[in-house]
Chains A and B, each alone.
Chain A
């Protein structure tokens, strides 16, 4: 089980990691600023195995791959949203961060509530209910299963 960190609609990648940290040498040095503008305590509070839950169009805006990378570096197990912006979605899969489209979870869950994702079954359990997720396109599932896009270059 992990905790849900719940965010609104149209969360853009500037909110996930602001521009002034992007040229820091490593993701490790950036990660403590994750969600700084929306919730400056997020990076301290989030634990490995927790989840980010959002409404529509999560990750819109800039193509900065640092956005999914800092979430992964903090141990976020998956991002679950009603919908994702295109570039963020692709970047997350490429680096091996599961991004899950689920239309019903957001409205059912409160911030900090416990939840669990079963990637194998494509379901989410929270508040004693089971929510069904939209399946990843086959091409993207394959990249995720291989551990991200770079893994295929190192075969």
Chain B
């Protein structure tokens, strides 16, 4: 019986020949990422253990990104706890270098790895053929102490991509279309696998954006076959694969979708659900108070280039705040070198340091009562970006930037 990519990665991590959907396996984790959203609580639980110990400190990566720099004495105290613990225990530690998933992609993720991240968007690592899945701090702590965990092998939904996206249509539009089609729990407990001839036309930025958002359909993980584009990225960042897996021809999929990339159009997810998607053209004219270009989903150099090209020589609409947040220091520096940040600043945008920003509704840039945000962030839940009576629309970097210029939802 053939196996899917997800089944092969779990079989490898469990040290067994075969794994199939529905089986439960004890697995050896390759890497354990945690950020400032929950690590202070993990440390408190760790310190209360009878025999606190870290199985393999080399697997741990801790990243302060959600509220960096800290916004209150309480946050500062939680950051200090994390910083001190990391130093004492020699844990690989980043603070301010970027959004955790971007930092992980740039520095750590390898194809074939099984990675727990104490953050739901850990599924982004599938862009490099790694099984990343989000966990809470108790699962994280257990893995930190034992080096292992248990996993229910997920069924896989396969998406065969064909053709190419049209000009002016982006990976964000594709993944929002897919989430709209299968719904916010359409992939609950399942893996979403992307393959097909259309994959070759997608950049690493596109692929990370697609895999990253799969948790918004409930997915346990997202996976893409590792091709030349992925291998080039890996080599450019000085890493080698752990293992390269593809699904067998006779692998069993829960569902198979064939998607013609040429049919995708600009999409907006309306408040307050990510699967509440409509063609962007149906939202034209909705007044906005703030626009956000950034996050682990769309804060990469490619996204900043798209935005800069649209806004060059133009101005942000009066009364609108346009936040531009590169997803990492590496991206920030490149954008600076390319002159992109100059373009945004001349247009009146606010450039901020790499962090999770308003995407997670804390940190900075939060919106007030009755305000509307258009965002390349990951979620548009009620109150997600600030006040409980505020509104978030999700869209591509192009739609967000065009909207910032017009002061209402607009197409580039």
Contacts and interface: CB of A to CB of B under 8 A. Distances in A.
**Are chains A and B native binding partners rather than an unrelated pairing?**
yes
Contacts of B78: 23-25
Given A23-B74, A153-B142, A91 B37 contact: no
B150 A139 contact: yes
Given A23-B67, A23-B75, A86-B189, A149 B139 contact: yes
A64 B215 CA distance: 13
Contacts of A139: 24, 150, 152
A34 interface: no
A108 B68 CA distance: 46
A86 B218 contact: yes
A148 B138 contact: yes
A61 B381 contact: yes
Interface in B176-197: 184-185, 188-189
Given A18-B361, A62-B120, A154-B50, A83 B185 contact: yes
A127 B34 CA distance: 45
Interface string A74-96: 00000000010111001100110
B382 A61 contact: no
B384 interface: yes
Interface in B24-59: 24, 36-38, 40-41, 44-45, 49-51
Contact of A23 (B36, B138, B382): B36
Interface residues of A, number: 43
Contact of A90 (B136, B382, B383): B136
Interface in B81-139: 118-120, 122, 134-139
- Which among B118, B379, B381 has the greatest number of chain A C-beta atoms within 10 A? B381
Nearest to A12: B381
A62 B118 CA distance: 10
A113 B102 CA distance: 47
Interface string A1-44: 00000000010101100111011111100000000111000000
B77 interface: yes
A125 interface: no
B273 interface: yes
Interface string B369-412: 00000000001011110001000000000000000000000000
A87 B120 contact: yes
A79 to B, nearest CB: 15
Contacts of A123: none
A65 B38 contact: yes
A94 B218 contact: no
Contacts of B383: 14-15, 18, 36-37
Contacts of A63: 38, 118-120, 122, 134-136
Contacts of A12: 379, 381
A143 to B, nearest CB: 9
Nearest to B39: A23
Contacts of B136: 63-65, 68, 87, 90-91, 94-95
Given A64-B38, A85-B185, A94 B381 contact: no
Given A61-B381, A65-B38, A19 B360 contact: yes
Which residue among B122, B362, B383 has the maximum number of chain A CB atoms within 10 Å of its CB?
Answer: B383
Interface string B334-354: 000000000000000000000
Interface string A42-81: 0000000000000011001111111011000000000000
A45 B41 CA distance: 26
Contacts of A91: 135-136, 138-139
Nearest to B120: A63
Contacts of A60: 184-185, 218
Contact of A57 (B139, B185, B362): B185
B123 to A, nearest CB: 11
Contacts of A87: 120, 134-136
Contact of B40 (A25, A37, A62): A25
Contact of A15 (B44, B119, B218, B382): B382
Nearest to B384: A14
B300 interface: no
B321 interface: no
A58 to B, nearest CB: 10
Given A25-B74, A91-B136, 7 more contacts: A18-B383, A23-B362, A27-B41, A36-B383, A37-B383, A87-B136, A153-B146
Interface of B: 24, 36-38, 40-41, 44-45, 49-51, 66-67, 74-75, 77-79, 118-120, 122, 134-139, 141-142, 145-146, 150, 152, 184-185, 188-189, 215-216, 218, 220, 273, 360-362, 366, 379, 381-384, 388
Closest 8 CB pairs of A and B: A65-B136, A91-B136, A37-B388, A37-B383, A63-B134, A94-B138, A57-B185, A19-B362
